[in-house]
Amino acid sequence: MAKGRILSGMRPTGRLHIGHLSVLENWKRLQEEYDCFFFSADWHALTTSFEDTGEIKENTLEMVTDWLAVGLDPERSVIFTQSDIKEHAELHLLFSMIIPLSWLERVPTYKDQVQQFREQGKDIMTYGFLGYPLLQAADILIYRADAVPVGEDQLPHLELCREVARRFNHMYSPVFPEPRALLSRVRLLPGVDNRKMSKSYANDIGIFAGPDELRKKVNAMITDPARIRKNDPGHPEVCVVHKYHSIYSPSELAGIEEQCRRGEIGCVACKKMMHESLDRILAPLRERREEITARRGYVREVLAEGALKARREASETMRMVREAMKI
């Protein structure tokens, strides 16, 4: 039986943080079972940074370097940049003719995000921003993907994608499968200050942070504020370090909790253990990344090769679409 086909993408926002690591590990696992397409959504990055585009190209290269270092394998998966495949834009245009405006206006994230950006003094009331989920539908359907690994926040976009596929198939002829969402068990790690992890809060930990930065970030993690002296009994459930231990030091977790509650371990020592656990995981990734960056031009080659393979599939879909629409 043919393998199922997976597609997923990320906007190139620069270096990745460890919140992305579980997403990438999931992609890496999916490579074993599926034909995978992974791409840098650089046109999507324009929706919020159309005034300041200077870093988009470089960010794609950095992000894809990170992907390769974590273990995405260009021999097995098609790794490419959205803007290299113009067919996404053609399909998006054709879809824009058949989608009712109300479908886009009612996407729950739309009004929220416009509001959020407005509060930051940014106006994103653009045509492109409204159309973001439709371009995403084109990204997915152009490869006739069966499933899309996404986080929960993307479910409304995937639902819209399925509706567009259904409408097209019904109106013309059945070209598109209705892709399902593969909800990944993404571990939601807080930032070091216990807010949502985000580069804009500077509370994130880079996957490829060097040893000094890593130490600084671990030191900045918020612990139980009720502990003043190191033998005060602690409450691990309110502590960021504890949340990280639960993911990165699972075998030591029970012991740490117990010692914390009894006031037998100080936060400084506890953070030192955290730093060691993180470094054990991140050091080999850093090494892999260095090997990759030492091969000059390698990432560009991967993307060029990926574009060739992606284009082959995308142009076949467009042939079917044009035939179905008789244009």
The binding track of 149-188 with respect to ligand TRP, each residue x by CB under 6 A or -, is -x---x----------------------------------
CA proximity to 313, closest of 37, 23, 8: 37
- Which 4-33 positions form the footprint of ligand TRP (CB under 6 A)? 7-11
With CB under 6 A as the contact rule, the residue among 223, 249, 277, 317 that binds ligand SF4 is 223
Q: Which is nearer to ligand TRP, 8 or 223 (CB)?
A: 8
Please answer whether residues 149 and 4 qualify as being in contact, where contact means their C-beta atoms are separated by less than 8 angstroms: no
Q: Which amino acid is at 113?
A: Q
Q: Which is nearer to ligand SF4, 9 or 234 (CB)?
A: 234
146 binds ligand TRP (CB under 6 A): no
Q: What is the DSSP string of 47-87?
A: HHHSS--TTHHHHHHHHHHHHHHHT--TTTSEEEEGGG-TH
Shortest separation between residue 217's beta carbon and ligand SF4, angstroms: 14
160 to 48, 119, 134, 193, 317: CA distances (angstroms): 21, 27, 8, 35, 19
With CB under 6 A as the contact rule, the residue among 5, 17, 20, 44 that binds ligand TRP is 44
140 binds ligand TRP (CB under 6 A): yes
Task: Provide the 8-state DSSP code for 196.
Answer: B
Q: Which is nearer to ligand SF4, 278 or 299 (CB)?
A: 278
With CB under 6 A as the contact rule, the residue among 16, 41, 79, 134 that binds ligand TRP is 41
Number of residues that bind ligand SF4 (CB under 6 A): 14
Q: What is the DSSP string of 206-250?
A: BTT--HHHHHHHHHT----TT--STTS---GGG-HHHHHHHHH-G
- Partners of 181 in the beta sheet? 148
CA proximity to 242, closest of 261, 223, 218: 223
Q: Which is nearer to ligand TRP, 41 or 72 (CB)?
A: 41
Shortest separation between residue 38's beta carbon and ligand TRP, angstroms: 9
Q: Which is nearer to ligand SF4, 84 or 224 (CB)?
A: 224
Q: Which is nearer to ligand SF4, 15 or 261 (CB)?
A: 261
Shortest separation between residue 144's beta carbon and ligand TRP, angstroms: 13
Spell out the residues 6+ positions from residue 299 whose beta carbon is closer than 8 angstroms to its own. Answer: 61, 64, 65, 68, 292
CA proximity to 78, closest of 307, 315, 317, 314: 307
Residues at the interface with ligand SF4 (CB under 6 A): 223-224, 227, 234, 236, 239, 241-242, 256, 260, 265, 267, 270-271
Give residues in contact with ligand TRP (CB under 6 A): 7-11, 41, 44, 136, 139-140, 148, 150, 154
